[in-house]
Structure 1
Amino acid sequence: MIKAIVSALTLTLIPAIASADNITGRASVVDGDTIEINGVRIRFEGIDAPESRQLCENAGGKRYRCGQVSAKALDTFLSQSRPTTCTATGKSYDRIVGHCVRSDGEDISAWMVRNGHAIDWPKYSNARYAKDQAEAQSARLGIWGGKFEMPCIARGARCD
């Protein structure tokens, strides 16, 4: 019951939050492509990260929780320059979609993709992070160092 009330209130508040220019504060990592600032969930626009439960294989064929590795890398990266600022660009389900930067101006999505912790999702990015992804693939960083299933497929969703 309480969860339903909180969900209803969150959905009521999202349009007001989404119309604000920026959401700034200390970010808590939900997963490799979603953070929470001041109780507001924000999904990074244009990228997709491995799911928390997702398993990948490293270069040696050993399975590991790549979703957890992605989330931990994001947490470490964000802790090095606070606060985080996100500009809302839309909504998806119960979350804001936005473009986020650290206090030093570093684009969080670009960093995640460039370091192999997320992929460019051209459907939503217009290939904005394609160069970052090519760098990660070439250097075999993160998920590109072995085998992985696209996060959208691991979620059971369509990737197009």
Structure 2
Amino acid sequence: MKPSHFLFVAVSLGIALPVHSAGPIIGRATVIDGDTLEIKGERIRLHGVDAPESWQTCEDGDGGTYRCGKEAAFALDQFLAESRPTRCEFVERDRYKRFVGVCFRADGPEVNRWLVRSGNAVNWEKYSKGAYVGAEQLARARGAGIWRGKFQLPCQARAERAGQEPAC
């Protein structure tokens, strides 16, 4: 069967074909949470970083708490709005079949690195292989974002909420 016939049959039968398999995705990004975007209907997990969950709270360093997950998502949305569109380069598909990638604003800055440097996410060593260690050290030294107080690593918070052992 010719590729064009396959596409016709797939569309006729309503079979969902992947929007992109391994190429970059470029478009207006919608923030799902602090480390997940959506572009053109494709969920994109930001590679090598882990942001607080939307329900997660952190200590602010002055004795109070705040919704650090919501703050991370809001900061990401503001950062992306400064220069559109967003381009995400494919790294892999995760166990949830999400596109995992490294993303960039139209004017060049890497989104993943900015998230860590701004203190809105941590370097997830398990996946980043140290790519964002320097950015995390800078955020810590400045007391930026989650580093201004105490917080639980997002992977630990997710595991605790699910009643599981953390795998981070």
Give the corresponding residue for 1:48. Answer: 50
2:38 is equivalent to residue 36 of structure 1: yes
Give the corresponding residue for 1:132. Answer: 135
Q: Deviations over 1:10-67 (max 9, x none)?
A: 9x644x6232x21000000000100000110000000000000001010102111000
Measure the CA separation in 1 of the matches of 2:79 and 2:113: 12
2:123 is equivalent to residue 144 of structure 1: no
Measure the CA separation in 1 of the matches of 2:17 and 2:50: 25
Q: Deviations over 1:92-139 (max 9, x none)?
A: 103110010000110001101001000001110011000000000000
Give the corresponding residue for 1:3. Answer: none
Measure the CA separation in 2 of the matches of 1:85 and 1:95: 16
Quote the sequence identity (%).
47
2:86 is equivalent to residue 122 of structure 1: no
Measure the CA separation in 2 of the matches of 1:39 and 1:23: 10
Pairwise CA RMSD of aligned residues?
A: 1.6
Aligned runs of 1:90-129 on 2, under 5 Å? 90-92=92-94, 93-129=96-132
1:86 Cα deviation from its structure 2 partner: 0.3
Aligned length: 149
Measure the CA separation in 1 of the matches of 2:21 and 2:91: 7
Give the corresponding residue for 1:153. Answer: 156
Q: Is the 8 A contact 1:48 1:151 kept in 2?
A: yes
| Unaligned residue ranges in structure 2 (runs of 5+) | 1-13
| Unaligned residue ranges in structure 1 (runs of 5+) | 1-8
Give the corresponding residue for 1:82. Answer: 84
Which protein has the larger Cα radius of gyration, Structure 1 or Structure 2?
A: 2
Give the corresponding residue for 2:11. Answer: none
Measure the CA separation in 1 of the matches of 2:64 and 2:130: 31
Give the corresponding residue for 1:4. Answer: none
Relative contact order higher in (CA < 8 Å, ≥ 6 apart): 1
